[in-house]
Amino acid sequence: MPDVAERMECTAEQLEALTKFANSRKFEKRLVDGTRMILGCAQGRRIKDIAKNLGVLPNAVIKWRERFKAYGMDGLYDELRPGSF
């Protein structure tokens, strides 16, 4: 596992939307934490530091980063979970 998050390139619009989500009190905690993980990666912070700050495992940071890299802003929203309709 890499120690430092691979710096991600984000557009100004993406950074603005991510910051808005990260500071929101209206969205689910999972979504807010996910956006904070992505912002940390975009800033080039260490994966361990991002995880420790948010109280999650480093693998969670990597998962959110990879989802964002693959799907952009659409990657923030949850996939259907088993048993959901």
User: Is residue 27 very low, low, confident or very high in pLDDT (cuts 50, 70, 90)?
Assistant: confident
Q: Which residue has the tokens 């689910």?
A: 28
pLDDT of residue 67: 93
User: Is residue 4 very low, low, confident or very high in pLDDT (cuts 50, 70, 90)?
Assistant: low
Whole-number Å distance between alpha carbons of 3 and 1: 6
pLDDT of residue 24: 87
Q: What is the mean pLDDT of residues 68-76?
A: 90
Which amino acid would we find at residue 37?
M
Mean pLDDT score of the chain = 86
pLDDT of residue 78: 66
User: Over 70: is that where the pLDDT of 82 sits?
Assistant: no
Which helix (H) or strand (E) is 14 found in, with range? helix 12-22
Whole-number Å distance between alpha carbons of 26 and 52: 23
